[in-house]
Amino acid sequence: MSQATETRRPNGSATRAVRRESLDRLRQLLDEQGPRVAFIHGIAGIGKSWLVAQFAAEARADHARVVAIDCGEVEPTADGFVAAISDELGVDPAGLAGLLARLAELPAPIVLVLDRYEVFLALDTWLRLTFCPGLPASTRVVLAGREPPSSPWLTAPRSRGEFLALPVGPLPKSEALAMLADLGVVGADAARVNGVAQGHPLALTIAARLALSRPDRDIEDLATQAVVEELAVQFQAEAADPTTREAIDAASVVRRLTSPLLRAMAPDLPADEAIERLRGLSFVESGRDGLVVHDAVKEAIVTALRSSDPDRHHRYRVGAWGHLRSELAGATRASLWRHTADLLYLLEQPNVRECFFPVGYQPVVVEPATPDDQGSFEAILATHEGPESQRALRAWWDYNPASVKMVRGREGEAVGFSITLPGRDLDRRILSRDPIAAAWADDMHRHRDANASLLFRCWLDAEAGDATPSATYGATNVDLKRMYVEERPKLQHVYAVAREFPWDVVKTLQLKPLPAADRELDGIPYVSIILDMGVGSVEGWLTRIIAGELGAATDGDDQLSLDREVLEARFGVQTIELSPLEFRLLAHLSEQAEHPVSRAELLERVWPYESEATSNVVEVTISGLRRRLGGHAKHVQTVRGRGYRYVT
């Protein structure tokens, strides 16, 4: 394959020198005997995305087919990933086996590029153990993210010679000055700008624009350890017009910005004009579903906004929450992750957000247990649990081995384990040995929701046991949130147990005690809790948490609240008992308040068993629900030709 003689500098100008050494190393992937996976990593704004794009351009010039996805736009599940790659290839999403077969049929070579890989941590183990080993020999993978690769990428025997780790650092001085020259900054001014930006491409771009617009600005005052952040705030404050300034602020509060969303957040702003101005900024990219401000810039600006104008920051979040909630009501299964990600970004509760999008390098990984792990499993059990608890947890290894996940350290050693399982897969033989599982099974049976439940039976760290925080607890929580996404939109209830919980966090996350499932093992009380997401599943739960943060929930005599434990609807002081089916129906309609919900959607998300979905079952249940609600039946309206809606 011929080598390209010219590359593109990060700001779009031609040069022969920028990142040439890194590009040449990446080109090893195109050799028949070269590495099969490359992992590019470096801090925000250092030029990873540009390097990936340039390599992709060179690979295409050498007749390789490049399939590139932004991990931030893809559901972090195996099904979501397979669907995204299949869509880019233009083939039917026939599952993993079908995708691998299709890749084997395509002319070689094929390059799969995954940018912003740091948000894909929940899928890292599956990609490493299942997807990449199953690829045909002609396919190569490029991963690009902020954090270094997890240890198993580097240490596993199968990775030796097949894996390339490529750190990306600042530009050398000669390349930085050449880049500044293309931006219109030369001579002493260029040296001054690079003295602050220190070869950081994004910082160079912002500093150059700031220097040109305000030549009197003394940029050397900025702290070099936070140069991108400080430059971004200065640029926003001094170099942009009022419309653009406000648009930058609003865009930094949300994951992605569209004209309708901007109108909801800042009604007085000319949304379409502001969107076009944002498109011209070097730190704003056009994604598939809106404009995205570069993470390093976004974090700095929203922090400054929260500090300098908390009321405006709050108004933006309230406007965004209302609009996203409205969009969610009409979301399809295929578009659901986009709305989930939007809600997660708006959320300020770190106990939730960071479990979906972990921050920083993760020292341990979660992998399915193998028969060889039984010794480690037993040793950790013996260290931290008594005989009764050991007997209960061994039942899961014996009868539901897929529920056991091992947490491994840098050398692949077991540093802990967890037990998680969808309720529908619970083997009933466990119930005679584990009284906690038996209590959960009784609760699921009472509410007929095994198909909509997830069981988080335990986590045990080799050193810390079930104490928090621990490496095992943190890694297990990330894996659990992956299961949340996999199981939605059916997922409604999550069961968990521990010797004690941080009750302030439990309350914030809207978890509830489940005293009927509390048990004593080895003389130690174990407390169960339940997360009742409702029929709105993960998105409904996130919407309610955000409403609590924003103070958007209100009280009143006609304000509905639902108590899942006793299947009651409450309007002010009035309490109305409902059947399980009526309760699920009312909960789903109220979570989509003001928006019509079709009969088909109700059958899919409210009725757990298809055998119950007779021709007029929805109409009959709606009629029964209205009779139960009495004077509050006015809230449940029929929308002719469209379905039903709950009106507040």
CA distance 99 to 82: 7
Q: Extract long-range pairs of 535-538: CB within 8 Å, 24+ residues apart.
A: 535/492, 535/584, 535/587, 535/588, 535/591, 535/605, 535/606, 536/587, 536/588, 536/591, 536/592, 537/488, 537/489, 537/490, 537/491, 537/492, 537/605, 538/340, 538/484, 538/485, 538/488, 538/489, 538/491
**What does the DSSP assignment read for 41-82?**
E-STTSSHHHHHHHHHHHHHHTT-EEEEEEGGGS-SSHHHHH
Q: What is the pLDDT of residue 615?
A: 66
Is pTM beyond 0.85 here? no
Comparing CA positions, the residue from 87, 78, 76, 138 lying closest to residue 111 is: 138
Find tokens 């990060």 and name the residue. Answer: 10
Comparing CA positions, the residue from 487, 465, 385 lying closest to residue 417 is: 465
Q: What is the pLDDT of residue 608?
A: 66
Q: Is the dihedral of CA 242, 244, 246, 249 positive or negative?
A: negative
Find tokens 């220190």 and name the residue. Answer: 198
**What does the DSSP assignment read for 571-615?**
ETTEEEE--HHHHHHHHHHHHTTTS-B-HHHHHHHT-S-GGG--T
Q: What are phi and psi of 386, to 5 degrees?
A: -80, 180
CA distance 508 to 511: 8
Contacts of 350 (CB under 8 A, 6+ apart): none
CA distance 381 to 407: 14
Which tokens go with 533?
């997401």
CA distance 371 to 360: 31
Q: What is the pLDDT of residue 574?
A: 65
Q: Is the dihedral of CA 233, 235, 238, 243 positive or negative?
A: negative
Residue-wise pLDDT for 266-305, tens only, equals 998 999 999 999 988 878 888 888 999 888 788 888 888 8
Paired sense of beta strands 290-293 and 284-287, if any: antiparallel
Q: Please say whether the beta carbons of 216 and 60 come within 8 A.
A: no
Q: What are phi and psi of 646, to 5 degrees?
A: -100, 125
Q: Please say whether the beta carbons of 471 and 461 come within 8 A.
A: yes
The whole-angstrom distance between residue 434's C-alpha and the CA centroid of its chain comes to 33
Rg (CA), the chain: 27
- In the chain, the N- to C-terminal Cα span, in Å, equals 65
CA distance 182 to 401: 60
Q: What is the pLDDT of residue 417?
A: 98
Quickly count: other Cβ atoms within 10 Å of residue 360's Cβ. Answer: 9
Q: Please say whether the beta carbons of 207 and 231 come within 8 A.
A: yes
Which tokens go with 359?
């921050």
CA distance 253 to 247: 10
Contacts of 98 (CB under 8 A, 6+ apart): 86, 91, 92
Q: What is the pLDDT of residue 227?
A: 61
Contacts of 124 (CB under 8 A, 6+ apart): 150, 365
Q: How many CA atoms lie within 13 A of 209 on its CB side?
A: 21
Comparing CA positions, the residue from 105, 109, 108, 40 lying closest to residue 71 is: 40
Q: Which domains are assigned to the chain?
A: 7-167 (3.40.50.300), 173-237 (no CATH), 240-346 (1.10.10), 365-537 (3.40.630.30), 554-646 (1.10.10.10)
Cα dist from 381 to 173, 369, 387, 458, whole Å = 56, 15, 9, 11
Q: What is the pLDDT of residue 516?
A: 92
Q: Please say whether the beta carbons of 442 and 519 come within 8 A.
A: no
Q: Please say whether the beta carbons of 479 and 459 come within 8 A.
A: no
CA distance 443 to 452: 12
Q: What angle do CA 541, 366, 441 make, to 5 degrees?
A: 50
Q: What are phi and psi of 500, to 5 degrees?
A: -155, 155
Low-confidence ranges of the chain (pLDDT < 50): 1-16, 222-225, 554-557, 610-611
Using DSSP's 3-state secondary structure scheme, residue 112 falls into: strand
Q: Tell me which H or E stretch contains 204.
A: helix 201-213
Q: What are the residues facing 70 on neighbouring strands?
A: 115
> Edge to edge, what strands does the sheet with 560-563 contain?
560-563, 568-571, 574-577
CA distance 446 to 460: 30
Using DSSP's 3-state secondary structure scheme, residue 252 falls into: helix
CA distance 244 to 281: 10
